[in-house]
Amino acid sequence: VLSGCGVYDGTEIHEASAILVHLSRGGAEVQMYAPDVPQMHVIDHSKGQPAEAESRNVLVESARIARGKIASLAKLTTVDHDAVIFPGGFGAAKNLSTFAVDGKDCKVNREVERVLKDFHKAGKPIGLCCISPVLAAKVLSGAEVTVGHEEEEGGKWPYAGTAGAIKELGGKHCVKDAVFSLTPFYEAHVDTKNKVVTTPAFMCEAELHNIFDGIGAMVKNVLKLTGK
């Protein structure tokens, strides 16, 4: 499920690409979706500032990542799929929810909420990375998720405050290290009860290959939980 195209106002492109590569390597068939709604705003990524008087559609922008093969989120059902995965990027906090503005008092897009509840009720796994675990924390009360560490540690975890917000949303935050032991990949947390799998990704200032491998751990566990 995508939220636009570009880290500051949509889907984090590296995360989406990594998810697709790992799903392909795992032999999964993939269909991409996005809500057919306007973006909260448009960010000029070269300046990191809002582009005034410009508007874009989340589905149309997400189609850039999907190479045109995408459908409205309203068409996503549990009957047709074994699992659902949400990449990060500020679009998850701006377009799939209002977390970026409202924090613990945020609202979740009604189709996103429906999808999360439907997959949870059906006992089908849900994967999320980077900032997107806030969606599960808000919708699935008591779900265990990770966004990495709970302290900034000199800038290594610049979004560490999100962990506290997850607790306020009703979720349980589990601290995960950037690197697991001596193996160069991020850790993924598996909430076996709720079948929710999360990994920090770009919540940490880390090397791209570590982020790629961490997302791989998340995808691998999602696929494992499908039982196929």
Domain CATH for 115:
3.40.50.880
Does 20 map to a domain? yes
Catalytic status, residue 5: no
**Burial class of residue 135 (count of CB atoms within 10 Å of its CB; 0-12, 13-18, 19+):** buried
CA of 26: how far to CAs of 208, 217, 221, in Å? 20, 11, 11
Pairing of strands 126-129, 196-199: parallel
Contact 20, 215 (CB under 8 A): no
Q: Which residues contact 167 (CB under 8 A, 6 or more apart)?
A: 173
The secondary structure of residue 47, as a DSSP letter, is T
Does 7 map to a domain? no
Q: What is the CA radius of gyration of the chain?
A: 16
Does 120 map to a domain? yes
Does 3 map to a domain? no
Does 5 map to a domain? no
User: Tens digit of pLDDT for each residue in 126-176?
Assistant: 999 999 999 999 999 999 999 999 999 999 999 999 999 999 999 999 998
Does 1 map to a domain? no
**Which of 5, 129, 130, 204 is flagged as catalytic?**
130
Task: Please give the Cα distance from 187 to 200 (Å, whole number).
Answer: 8
Does 4 map to a domain? no
User: Tens digit of pLDDT for each residue in 180-220?
Assistant: 444 434 689 999 999 999 999 999 998 999 899 999 999 99
Does 146 map to a domain? yes
The predicted structure's pLDDT at residue 176: 82
Domain that holds residue 219: 13-226
User: Tens digit of pLDDT for each residue in 86-124?
Assistant: 999 999 999 999 999 999 999 999 999 999 999 999 999
Q: How many domains does the chain have?
A: 1
Contact 111, 73 (CB under 8 A): yes
The neighbouring-strand residues paired with 86 are 128
Q: What is the mean pLDDT of the chain?
A: 94
